[in-house]
A and B are shown apart, each in its own frame.
Chain A
Amino acid sequence: MPSLKDLKNRINSVKSTRKITKAMQMVAAAKLRRAQDAAEAARPYTERFTAVVAGLAAGQKGADGAPRLLAGTGSDKVHLLVVMTSERGLCGGFNSTIVRLAKARATELQAKGHTVKILTVGKKGREQLKRDWSAQMVGHVDLSEVKKLGYDVARKIAADVLARFDAGEFDVATIFFNRFQSVISQVPTATQVIPAVFESGGTASAQYDYEPSEEAILADLLPRNVATQIFAALLENAASEQGARMSAMDNATRNAGDMINRLTIQYNRSRQASITKELIEIISGAEAL
């Protein structure tokens, strides 16, 4: 049975925890808005870009001498998994869901006899993957210094990935991130970026004139497409992270409130019990005289 003083300390400590989680929730809500705005602002570019590249790619897919970024290297032996996670914790299952998806994919690929290489973006994913997959990890991108998620960040990651591709380090690249659906729902997603795949296949836009030429434009745009996709994924991820943190902190605040209520009841009961006990002692003392 904890003493009254212990209970009181406990209540105070839970109260300050609640204050912290509440503050974190509000900070996450503000950051979420900003992240959503950024994702919103990037959408027109990504959509137009993908539409045009998809149209170009549709016309080139089967052709001889199609760019390697589109046609692939002709094998699918070595897979690069780019796992994008957050730099900071306390955001519920955000990082674990991405890592779980990546691990499942890696295990599946290994079972098929493929080689797996892992590039991590964000500290949390690296920490979780380090234990079982450290032999497969080929690199890490640190985002802790990044204040504002700009296109330059995505371009650097893309340049790293493309340099590895040109050096023949892998055949297929897939990025893992959380797609933002709502504050309470983020969907871990895997998207193949090399060789490029386009969902609809694109309407072959034969009516366009191309300058310099269709092939040259496609060769110029495909590397940029990798950067664009990574950028879009980073933005989705940032919004998801804040959404996940917001709901995690909301839960924590609510739990702390429940706990305070329970502890307060316990505190009041034991205070009452000790008063009753003292009264009984006084009365029975008086009766004994």
Chain B
Amino acid sequence: MADLMQFDLVSPERRLASVKAREVQIPGADGDLTAMALHAPTITTLRPGILRVVADGGTTDYAVTGGFAEITPEGTSVLAERAIPVADLTAAMVDELVAEAEKAAEGASADTKYAAAKLVNDTKALRAALR
């Protein structure tokens, strides 16, 4: 079955998903990308966003922040510092993420200013996407 691939989503505290997926839409730092079976080996960092997993059983969305995705022809694993199924996500949790990013941006030095500002925008975009 070349059209299915192994997909793993792990956060530091637990393994959220380990399924055979048809495609995975990943919010990469430089833009979204979709991984399918036989994708070229790629490692990308994540921006806060929605990760969509399309499997035979249906589609599942996860909100992920911070981490990276490792794509190989055989499968994709996403390691995210925080990963929450969108169904379990509450508005308060997203607001907290935005507040956290804004706080980090305030204290950012010249070197990290750009990254911090991007983080604020990304979390805000995530909040907008979920409404």
Q: Which residues of A contact B (CB under 8 A)?
A: 38, 41-42, 44-46, 48-49, 52, 56, 150-151, 154-155, 205, 207-212, 216-217, 220-221, 224, 227-228, 231
Contacts and interface: CB of A to CB of B under 8 A. Distances in A.
Nearest to A56: B43
A52 B43 contact: yes
B34 interface: no
A151 to B, nearest CB: 4
B77 A211 contact: no
B86 interface: no
A211 B13 contact: no
A48 B77 contact: yes
Chain B interface bracket (under 10, 10 to 19, 20 to 34, 35 or more):
20 to 34
B45 A212 contact: yes
A216 B45 contact: yes
Interface string B79-93: 101100000000000
A212 B31 CA distance: 10
Contacts of A211: 28-30, 33, 42-45
A221 B41 contact: no
| Ranked 3 nearest A-B pairs via Cβ | A211-B44, A151-B12, A209-B42
Main secondary structure of the interface of A (DSSP, over half): helix
A44 B15 contact: yes
B11 interface: yes
B10 interface: yes
B12 A210 contact: no
Contact of A209 (B40, B79, B82): B40
B70 interface: yes
B44 A210 contact: yes
A208 B81 CA distance: 22
B14 interface: yes
Nearest to B77: A48
A221 B33 CA distance: 20
Main secondary structure of the interface of B (DSSP, over half): strand
Interface in B74-125: 77, 79, 81-82
Contacts of B77: 48
Most A Cβ at <10 Å: residue of B12, B28, B43, B81? B12
A224 B11 CA distance: 12
B62 interface: no
Given A41-B15, A52-B68, A210 B79 contact: no
A45 B82 CA distance: 12
Nearest to A207: B41
B68 A221 contact: yes
Nearest to A163: B107
Contact of B79 (A48, A207, A212): A48
15 contacts: A41-B15, A42-B13, A48-B10, A151-B13, A208-B42, A209-B42, A211-B33, A211-B44, A211-B45, A216-B29, A220-B29, A220-B68, A224-B66, A224-B67, A224-B81
A13 to B, nearest CB: 43
Contacts of B70: 48, 52, 208
A69 to B, nearest CB: 14
Contacts of B79: 45, 48-49, 52
A120 to B, nearest CB: 23
A2 B77 CA distance: 71
Interface string B22-47: 00000011100100000011111100
B12 A38 contact: no
Contacts of B33: 211
Contacts of A227: 81
A41 B10 CA distance: 9
A220 B69 CA distance: 13
Contact of B29 (A46, A150, A207, A212): A212
A52 B43 CA distance: 9
